[in-house]
Structures are given as structure tokens and as C-alpha cells.
Amino acid sequence: MERGERLCEAARGGDAAAVRILIEEEEVDVTYFDGEGLTPLMYAAKHGHAGVVKILLDAGAPWNALSPSSLSAGDFAMDSGHQEAFDLLVNAGVQAELVLGTIARTVRKADSSDEDYLEDRVTFSEDKLMDSDRKAVMMAWEKPLMEAHAKAVCSGGGHILNVGFGMGLVDTAIQQYAPIRHTIIEAHPEVYDRMLRTGWGDKDNVKIIFGRWQDVLSRLESYDGIFFDTYGEYYEDLREFHQHLPALLKPGGIYSFFNGLCGDNAFFHVVYCQLVSLELGNLGYSTQFISLPVKDCLGGEVWEGVKQKYWQLDTYYLPVCQLSDDSE
Ligand SMILES: C[S@@+](CC[C@H](N)C(=O)[O-])C[C@H]1O[C@@H](n2cnc3c(N)ncnc32)[C@H](O)[C@@H]1O
């Protein structure tokens, strides 16, 4: 039997001693994929052998390798209900991403950069806003999510900031709460034009700031509620925005963002939810996730004509962030 196969078999059987010998003495490659496209780590995770998962991770087995059906070791542990193995893998993922950040190159949907997207044409239809590559910038199925975000960030009233207008779903919902003031930042010229044509510039309590949020920071104030949902930006941009929260969010204010991080893989999504809440925690904010079922929003022909299904999970975890008690 091939050495890699022996490692897979030992991992599948939970034989920690054999796994150690194969790695340490026989120097078997822990990144091995067998004929079915699975790794030793996936077998250990799938069968709940937490001890072996740990040995393999310590030996450098890739936590984020994917099977032919796009499942990672963490997905296998999660699907089989192996909590201890799952926790080890989440932890490995969070630690790796803190340093490398390889998975969520994009926050929302796009894999081209903001600069490219902002110079592109966009197309509006009744149920979606698309970029020139037929990737969805925003889709109507998200309306209930946007309404829930609006409810969260408007719960204290006052002055609300929204970054990214898109189809105006969240802003329409924010208006229902009649905030004292409502500031909207939008960077795409055509989206901005459409905002003006549809009367957003004439609303008494609305102030529109045209430009990339990165370029208009000096024009911002501090707010009671903030929602962030851009397109074509990376996790690093979200992280950078979070660095400005202490200046932008009033004490007692509520911050939320579109949580599309790795929305096409359940396990990577868990890792990114933990990562973002850890990083917000380091800035003094506590994050709670409200679970919203979205399966029913995604039936039928929702994705027809759209190049990439940017969301494939059954539950949406809506983040609600506030300054932690011990930071106030
Ligand atoms: C996903 S859409 C927002 C959808 C919106 N939440 C809604 O409810 O319809 C993202 C929006 O952010 C805008 N955008 C992209 N990058 C931006 C940036 N750096 N600053 C401000 N707006 C940006 C895009 O033009 C687009 O209108």
C-alpha cells in the first residue's frame, strides 16, 4: 500500500500511534490526497478522531484543503457532529487566517478589485444589480436580511450611516425608522446617478456622500448606527473599516455589516465569523450573531443569469456589534 494511503487509513481508524510514526519516522506527506480526493485530515475529522486531527494539524496538514465536492475537513467534522475535532479545526483556521488571510480574498461576491468594478458599467433590473461580468452586486432575495440589518442599526434612533447603496434596500428600510439623519456613502457613478433620479437626494433627512468610503472619511461624523455593505472589496478593506469604528460609532451605537464572508462554504464561514468577531473584540466591540433562515429566499430561479452563486448556506448570521461593557 502506498505510504499516503497508509496515513489515510491510520487517520480513518483513529490510530494516533501509527499516524505519529508515519509522519515522524517515515516522513509521509500530510498534504497527500487519496484516489477519492480526500486527505488524512478529512478522514480523521469525518470519523471524529480529535487526537489524530491535532497531530495532523501540528504536522502542517492543510486545514483548508477541499475535497472534490468542495468540502473541507471542518465540513466533515461539522456534518458528522464531531465537536472536538470541529473546534480544533476552527481554531486552526482562525489562527491561520489571522496571519495569512488566504480564504476570504473577497468580502462580497466579486473577485475583481474595487477599482475595476467602479469603472465598469452596471445593469439594474427589478430583482438585481449586476456588474459587466454578470456577477450580482446586489439581489432582491436579500431584502429580508437588509430589513433585519436596518432594524438592528436603527434600534437606538439618531444618526445612521450606510456604506454602499446598491439597490437601496437597506436604505429604504432605514427610512422606515425615520432616523434624525441618514448618511449614505456610494462610490459607483451610475448607482449614484440612479439615487439622484429616484429622489434620494431630495429627502430631508438624507445626506449622500459620493465617493469611496476610504476617500471620504474626513467628511464623516459619529453615528448611532452604522451598516457596511460594499462590493468588490477584500476582507482587508472590511478590517480597515473596523479600525475607524472607534471614531465613527458613538458609545452605545450599533454596528452591523453584510456577513457574506465565505458564503459558499459552511465551515469557512464559521471560521470567518469567529475571525471577525475576534478582531472586533480586539478593538473593544462585542459581536452577537442573529441566525436568520434564508433557504426559502433562495428557491426557484433566483440565480438565473447570474455568473456566481455567492451565497449557498441555509442560515445567515447577522452580526450586531456594540462597544463591550468593559470598554465603555
Ligand atoms: C452590495 S451593494 C449594497 C447593497 C445595499 N446594502 C442594499 O441594501 O441594496 C454594494 C454597494 O457598494 C458600493 N461600493 C463599492 N465599493 C465602495 C466603496 N469603496 N465605498 C462606497 N461604496 C462602495 C457599490 O457601488 C454598491 O452600490
Find residue 72's DSSP bridge partners.
Answer: none
**Which pLDDT value is given to residue 326?**
73
The Cα 226–Cα 97 span in angstroms is: 26
Q: What angle do CA 292, 296, 298 make, to 5 degrees?
A: 100
Find residue 322's DSSP bridge partners.
Answer: 286
**Which pLDDT value is given to residue 308?**
85
Choose which residue among 124, 165, 237 to substitute to test ligand 1 binding: the one with the highest number of ligand atoms within 8 A of its C-beta: 165
Residue written as grid cell 448606527: 225
Give the pLDDT mean for 36-52: 98
Residue 36, pLDDT above cutoff 60 = yes
Residue 106, pLDDT above cutoff 80 = no
Residue 104, pLDDT above cutoff 60 = no
**Percent of the chain with pLDDT strictly greater than 90:** 84
Indicate the pTM of the whole model: 0.92
The pLDDT-based confidence of 109 (bands split at 50, 70, 90) is: low
Residue 247, pLDDT above cutoff 80 = yes
CB atoms within 10 A of CB 94: 20
Query: Domains along the chain?
Result: 3-99 (1.25.40.20), 114-327 (3.40.50.150)
- Compare 255 and 106 and report the one with higher pLDDT: 255
CB atoms within 10 A of CB 62: 16
Is-contact 208 233, C-beta < 8 A?
A: no
**Percent of the chain with pLDDT strictly greater than 70:** 95
- DSSP-based three-state secondary structure for 282: helix
CA 69 – ligand 1 centroid, Å: 32
Protein residue whose Cα sits closest to atom 14 of ligand 1: 230
3-state secondary structure 268-280: HHHHHHHHHHHHH
Give the pLDDT mean for 97-122: 70
89 to 49, 76, 328: CA distances (angstroms): 12, 11, 33
The Cα 21–Cα 42 span in angstroms is: 19
The pLDDT-based confidence of 1 (bands split at 50, 70, 90) is: confident
Ligand 1: lining residues by beta carbon, under 6 Å: 108, 114, 137-138, 146, 163-170, 185-188, 191, 212-214, 229-233
CA 209 – ligand 1 centroid, Å: 12
Of 53-57, 111-115, 246-250, the one with minimum mean pLDDT is 111-115
**Which pLDDT value is given to residue 328?**
56
